Amino acid sequence: MNLRYVIREFGLVLIVLSLCMVAVMGWAARNWAGGDVDERLAVLGLVMSAVVGAVAGLVCWLFGSRSGQDYLGRREALLLVAMSWLLGAALAGLPYYTWAWIEQTALIDHPFASMSACYFEAMSGLTTTGATVLDDVDSIPKGLLLWRAMTHWLGGLGIVVLFVAVLPTLGVGGKKLFQVEAPGPQQQGVRPRIRETARVLWLIYLTMTGAQVLLLRLVGRMSWFDSVCHTFATLATGGFSTHNASIGAYDRWSVELITILFMVLAGVNFGLYYQLARRRFGAIWRDPELRVYLGILFVATLIVGFSIYGKSSTLMTGEQRVVGLAEAARQSTFQVVSIQTTTGFSTADFDLWGFVPRAVLVTLMFVGASAGSTGGGIKVIRILVALKVMLAEVERVFRPSVVRTTRVGSGVVDPEMRQAVLVYVLGIIGLFLLGTLALMLIEPGGSLDFTSAATASAASLNNIGPGLGLVGASHNYGFFTAPSKMVLSLLMVLGRLEVYAVLVLILPGFWRSD
C-alpha cells in the first residue's frame, strides 16, 4: 500500500472541492452590498470552509509528494475513493455548519446547528442520495442551496468516472460485464487511459448539463438559479430541490417532462454515450441493460398509473387532485422515473398512495438504474443476471449434466461473475436489513415504525432520498438522532461505492503489505 501517494491524491480532491466552494461563493457574493444578511453569512461560511479545505489539501499534497512513486494500484484506488467520500463529506458539510455557527443566536434549533446533520446532508449530496435534514428548504440562503446542488453534481461526475473509467481499467471486482467496451487505446499505461476516458465522460456530462439548464430556463421558464440547481440534482440522480415541494412546486408539464427526460438519460450507462460520441449506434441498440431498463420503467409506470387512476392524490403543494387519465400518466411517469433512477424528486406525495403503487416504488428502489450511470440501487444488469442464473439453477435440478452458459445480450457471463452478482444482491439485502435493525435499535423508545425504518434504510442504501412513513416525500430526515444519521450516512456511501470499496477497509488483509 502506497499510503503517501493516496494522501497526495486525496489532497487534490480536497483542493478541487475548495475551488468549487470558491466558485459558488463568487456567485453568491455578486450582490454583496444589496443582499440580505443571511446570504452574506452563507458567503462567509463558504469562504471559511474553502480556506480550511485548501489548507488541509495542501498539507496532504505536500506530505504525499515526498513519496516519489507514482503508482496507482487497486488498493490505492479503493482507499482513495473511500477517503474521498467519507472525509470529503466532512469538508463538504462545513459550509452548512459554519453558516449556522455564525448565525448562532437565530439558528439555535436549526438542523444545520448539528455537526452530524451537516455531515449527513453533505454525504447525501456527494452520494447523490438527496435525503435532507431540512424541514424548510426555501428559507436556506441561495449560496448554500447552490453548494448543495453542486455536491450532487460533483458526486455524480465522480461516480461515472470511477465506475466507467477507473475501476474497469484497474480490473477491480470483475467489472467486465458492466463495461460497454474498454475505451481508449489499449497500449497506453493505466493513468493515461483513465485520463483519456475521464476527459470524454466529463465532456459528455458538461454537454448534458448545459442542455438541461437551457431547456429548464427557456422552455420550463425556471429562474437561472433554479435551472442550474435542478439540473445538477437531475443529472446526478440526486434529488435536492430548492423548494419544499420539490419539482411539484412548479406544477408545469414542461418542467416535469424535461426533468423526466434527463432523469432517464442520467440512469443510462455513460459508456453508451461514449459509444454515441464515436457513432457506434449498434452497441447502443444491442445493449441488453438499456432495453430492460426502459422496459421496467414502462411496465412500472403502467402499473402505478393504473393503480392511482380515478382516486384522489395529494400533490407536494398540498393540493388534492382527482387523478384522471392524463394526471395518472403524469404522476406515475414522474414518480416511477424519479424512484427507479434513484433521483428522488417528487410531484405527488406517493406515501399516501395505495399499497400496490407503494410496493412497486419500493421494489424499484432496489432495482435501481443502469451500471455506469449516476443512478444507484442494485442496477438493472445485476438483476437481469441474477434472474437468469436462478432460472438456470431450477433447470439444473432435473438436467444436472447439461453445461449451460449464462448469456446477457451477446456476452457470456462467466461463473466468477455470476457468483459476484449473486453475492452483491445478497449483500445489499443484508446491509438493508442490518441498517433497518440498527435504526430501530438506536431510535429511542421504539418511536420508529418498521416501514419508516426499512424505507429509510432502503432509500439511503440505494441512494434515492425519500422513503415512506416518517421519511416520506413530504417529510425529512432531520428527526433522526445523531447516531442514526451516521448509520444512514454509512449506508449511503456503502451503496454509492457498491459496498466493496468501503468494506475492504475493515479487512486486516487489505492493509497488509503482501
Minimum distance from residue 504 beta carbon to its own copies (Å): 6
- Identify which range of 114-122, 182-190, 322-330, 387-395 contacts its own copies by CB under 8 A: 387-395
Q: Does 444 bind its own copies (CB under 8 A)?
A: no
Do 25 and 43 meet the contact criterion of CB atoms below 8 Å apart?
Answer: yes
Q: Does 429 bind its own copies (CB under 8 A)?
A: yes
Minimum distance from residue 192 beta carbon to its own copies (Å): 22
Q: Find the binder of its own copies among 198, 420, 458, 494 (CB under 8 A).
A: 420
Q: Does 390 bind its own copies (CB under 8 A)?
A: yes
- In 341-470, which ranges are continuous DSSP H helix? 355-367, 380-396, 415-442, 450-461
Q: Find the binder of its own copies among 34, 68, 185, 509 (CB under 8 A).
A: 509
Q: Find the binder of its own copies among 104, 223, 419, 447 (CB under 8 A).
A: 419
Minimum distance from residue 486 beta carbon to its own copies (Å): 20
Tell me whether residue 108 or residue 507 sits nearer to its own copies (CB atom). 507
Residue 487: C-alpha distances to residues 3, 454, 469 (Å): 27, 13, 19
Please state, in angstroms and rounded to a whole number, the distance separating the CA atoms of residues 371 and 497.
Answer: 12
Q: What residues between 180 and 239 interact with its own copies by CB under 8 A? A: none
- List all residues 6 or more positions away from 488 whose beta carbon is below 8 Å from its beta carbon: 120, 131, 435, 439, 456, 457, 460, 477, 480
Please state, in angstroms and rounded to a whole number, the distance separating the CA atoms of residues 149 and 103.
Answer: 22
Range list of β-strands (E), 67-169 = none
- Identify which range of 192-200, 341-349, 367-375, 382-390 contacts its own copies by CB under 8 A: 382-390
Q: Three cell numbers at 463?
A: 441512494
Q: Decide: residue 58, CB within 10 A, 0-12 exposed, 13-18 middle, 19+ buried.
A: middle
What single letter denotes the amino acid at residue 450?
F
Please state, in angstroms and rounded to a whole number, the distance separating the CA atoms of residues 79 and 117.
Answer: 25
Q: Does 306 bind its own copies (CB under 8 A)?
A: no
What single letter denotes the amino acid at residue 160?
V
Tell me whether residue 278 or residue 404 sits nearer to its own copies (CB atom). 404
- Identify which range of 254-262, 271-279, 292-300, 438-446 contacts its own copies by CB under 8 A: 438-446
The alpha carbon of 160 is separated from its chain's Cα centroid by a whole number of angstroms, namely: 10
Minimum distance from residue 474 beta carbon to its own copies (Å): 21
Tell me whether residue 140 or residue 362 sits nearer to its own copies (CB atom). 362
By CB under 8 A, name the binding residues for its own copies: 74-75, 78, 171-174, 355-356, 359, 386, 389-390, 393-400, 415, 418-420, 422-423, 425-427, 429-430, 437, 440-441, 446, 450-451, 499-501, 503-504, 507, 509-510
